[in-house]
Structure 1
């Protein structure tokens, strides 16, 4: 989970249309929030990811759902209130279900607060710093083994493999192979790893947290700094740090 910066509501959500759609839902129970304009606007500010687990979403897929932070019942007046809507994958939306932050206890709304205040990663597991973090993990089932643990495990294995390969290249460089080709190979490899943890990428918080705390990565970074090769990578690392859920 990363901090999201909520964009402007779609032009279709005028005061008049909000009132009309809310009334329609109240009388008919119709899913008035399932408008393409709403879905597109939600995906635009979330980089087409689930607000909770960062699964990649596609507006054309049934997997993308419009999530109501405060549930439709009893908060029917908020069914198309822009600040109450989040993009979610089907698993997170189903897990959260009718959980009501107003009565069941506040959870993290990533469009309003920084998740780092309440959550952090320890290896493959998302852990909590406080009650809000704990309720968030439980409400959205953010350590579910049917999907998230498997994805995190695969991502971590691929990252570790890349780091070990880059570490070997770095050792060769330090041993005297300072050719431009080898130098650029190392820089490109580290850049690729950091780009995978860019805020716009799926599972960015997990990847940033795993990568930046990895001893092999830290050794490679220090070696690059000592060799005067780190500067072009610094901005990429700062971007990854912005979504890191560090202990």
Structure 2
């Protein structure tokens, strides 16, 4: 899950939907949870139904797709600890696998591991394709497809390590989305990791070192 920095915003919003443009400008058109590029809604980290005083609070806004937003619903996120991408180093909290799965980082401390797993369940990122063939939630498949595209791009770059191809791969990553997939597949290429970090707007750079490696701590 890409850690983000949306910055401050002095705008006094009359409706929370008015914040969408500013969020898109600062974070890009990617779901703050599953990272896919799609049509997005303003998401309240702390549920507006339970905490109406946070209805128009910029610090309470992220962007979410229909799946992540629908699964999260109005769960009370103040009742237990969660790891949200605008507060925690979520790049360290979760690991992405070749099988398309998102898992909690097993190297976390016990309390952090519990919070990471709770966060995955909150928005359903621990889900896998249904066996009955229903396809209401395609996030796993789209993530898996992004992984295959990233692997092909990496293999092409190995055969042809040109500047032109690096630029093309960076453009493809931005269009494809799934920041964490690209960072994982290109984990051995510091130059590509820096380019990927630069091409996704709003990525919290403090969570990564100069070589694009994720810093091994949750709170930064």
**TM (normalized to structure 1)?**
0.65
Map 1:8-23 onto structure 2 (within 5 A): 8-9=8-9, 11-13=11-13
- What secondary structure, in the 3-state scheme, does the structure 2 residue paired with 1:87 have? strand
Report the Cα distance in structure 1 between the residues aligned to 2:145 and 2:86, rounded to whole angstroms: 28
Change (3 A) 1:78 1:55: same
Contact in 1 for aligned 2:33/2:64 (Cα 8 Å): yes
Are 1:162 and 2:143 matched, yes or no?
no
Contact kept in structure 2, 1:209 and 1:246, CA below 8 Å? no
d(CA) in 2 for partners of 1:196 and 1:107?
31
Would the aligned equivalents of 2:34 and 2:68 in 1 still touch at CA under 8 Å? yes
Q: Which has the larger radius of gyration?
A: 1
Indicate conservation of the 8 Å contact 1:106/1:132, yes or no.
yes
For residues 204 and 195 of structure 1, what CA distance do their matches in structure 2 show? Answer: 12
> Deviations 1:2-60 (Å, cap 9, x if unpaired)?
111123325233xxxxxxx5xxxxxxxxxx3222xx11111122112111111224xxx
Q: Which residue pairs with 1:74 in the alignment? A: 50
SS in 2 for 1:4: coil
Find the aligned partners of 2:76 and 2:169 in 1 and give their Cα distance. Answer: 38
CA gap 1:236/1:165 in 2 versus in 1, 3 angstroms? closer
1:237 to 184, 187, 193: 193
CA–CA distance in structure 1, aligned partners of residues 16 and 154 of structure 2: 44
Provide the TM-score with structure 2 as the length reference.
0.72
Greater helix proportion? 1
SS of match in other structure, 1:5: coil
Quick one: distance in 1 between partners of 2:214 and 2:115?
Answer: 15
By how many angstroms is 1:74 displaced?
Answer: 1.7
Indicate how the Cα distance of structure 1 residues 12 and 134 shifts in structure 2: closer, same or farther if over 3 A, else same. Answer: same
Distance in 1 (alpha carbons) for counterparts of 2:143 and 2:183: 12
For the pair 1:52 / 2:33, whether they are aligned, the reply is yes
Q: Point out where structure 2 has 5 or more consecutive residues left out of the alignment.
A: 106-112, 130-136, 198-207
Structure 1 portions without partners, runs of 5+: 14-20, 22-31, 58-62, 171-184, 213-217, 222-233
Aligned to 1:5: 5
- Greater RCO structure (CA 8 Å; 6+ sep): 2
Q: Distance in 1 between matches of 2:91 and 2:144?
A: 21
Q: Secondary structure at the match of 1:74?
A: coil
